Structure 1
């Protein structure tokens, strides 16, 4: 019965899981050559463009960011495309792309993003970035404290599907301890098992101040849950948990962006 309830909850959460690409900056203005798309800030130095379109007919179009009042290439920064190429950008049709600012630059340093033609000094489409814009960043939670020597330093929500537990300890003596999440502020038998750092959902073994990274399964995100902790499934006992605030401003995961880790630069 416990397993059936957990499966039902997981199915409900996955069904309700929203698309999330980061903090929205707004749509690209469609000025020339069919440029369009919705721009998001993934984190302090990464942009994501959903359904990007460009007809590829411009003679020397590039992605640019800058902090000038007027959009231009002088004093601006040319970005590499999603493949890491610095060449003229090609045709795009409803393509999702991820672009990175160069090292040492963040969204705090720029006022606009543009598809710009160097040859004719024309802005094909742009979006502005507000001065006090809050870009997504990892979010620090409380430390774990509980029975069976459960403890940790402050837990960090790295992105919408990744949880970092620094210096995690647990004596491993309970028969059925699991990493556990669910709706609401406190664990219940209707929660969801979270695979350990090795991808297993077997009872947890002993940990002694080990730093581990956990990934939420499937399409489950941090926005779908209200707590994270250690739960004994056999005896329905809470070994320690932390609350997760709603609507925290964290980056999307690579999976949510459709980006493979080897393409993240």
Structure 2
């Protein structure tokens, strides 16, 4: 028994150490904060990034209420909170009262100056009756997803260079100050797995969503998105590669210890408001 224990202890240590290097996958919707879970107000709330919430399966069944989403800096909602606009892209200058909603999903953007970590609660607040119709507490130890800044592309061939690449969300890369002479006859962005890039990766559309051969770049900042079903959690590198000549022009490695926002198209259209559960 003692011999078995002596073998298991170092094995468990190695296992736990290796697990620490892996990502906190924010999942499809973000990191779950809580569930309203009431009869009047129901639905789960997720942290997308420091300023953005995703609400899923939301139900609100009070007609003509003077009700708004309410960001509070106390665990128990009070009059000192601040309105969080719904919808996130309002059509009027003044915040709109919450209508009756049934099983919908949408993004909420926090007011300027507020972050998820600066809050302690999110409520549906009746401004006339000065009371909460339902609320969740935001945990102090919540790990909020955030974009991850990577090194620049390695400089191998054809004048390829860039600024630091940023993973904006689970499917989106921002590549600033991109330079490439455009003379590669069969060059594409590829992603894949392995200790080093190779030509058997998956093609990634360019900044226009096209899979045409890459043209030259002269300092542009571009945004590219991984094709379905890929995310940054299941790839190990992004490379510019000439397939015809099997040539690596330059690449950047994807770390394993990621906790980036989910891909809810917030980096594609600014804000996405859904009207049904995806």
Shorter-normalised TM range: 0.7 to 0.9
- Supply the RMSD in Å over aligned alpha carbons: 2.5
* Bigger proportion of residues as strand: 1
Query: Structure 1: any 5+ residue segments left out of the alignment?
Result: 1-17
List gaps (5 residues or longer) in structure 2: 1-25, 274-278
- Is residue 76 from structure 1 mapped to residue 81 from structure 2 by the alignment? yes
Give CA deviations for 1:68-91 in whole Å, capped at 9, x if unaligned: 24222x111122112526232111
Show the counterpart of 1:88.
97
Moved more, 167-176 or 102-111: 167-176
Q: Does the 8 Å contact 2:33/2:47 carry over to 1?
A: yes
Mapped to 1, the partners of 2:75 and 2:142 lie a distance apart of 17
Report SS of the residue matched to 2:117: helix
Pair 1:180-2:186 in alignment: no
Hey, what does 2:221 align to over in structure 1? 211
CA-to-aligned-CA distance 1:89-130 (integer Å, 9 cap, x gap): 111111002111111221132110011233444433222112
Q: 1:207 to 1:109 in 2, by over 3 A?
A: same
The corresponding residue for 1:228 is 238
Task: Tell me, yes or no, if structure 1 residue 38 matches structure 2 residue 44.
Answer: yes
Pair 1:262–1:110, CA change in 2 (3 A): closer
Displacement of 1:157: 0.9
**TM-score normalised by length of structure 1:** 0.81
Shift of 1:172: 2.4
Q: TM-score, normalised by structure 2?
A: 0.77
Secondary structure, in 3 states, of the residue corresponding to 1:59?
A: coil
Match of 1:56 among 62, 69, 75: 62
- Using the alignment, how far apart are the partners of 1:261 and 1:171 within structure 2? 31
- Structure 1: distance between partners of 2:27 and 2:229: 10
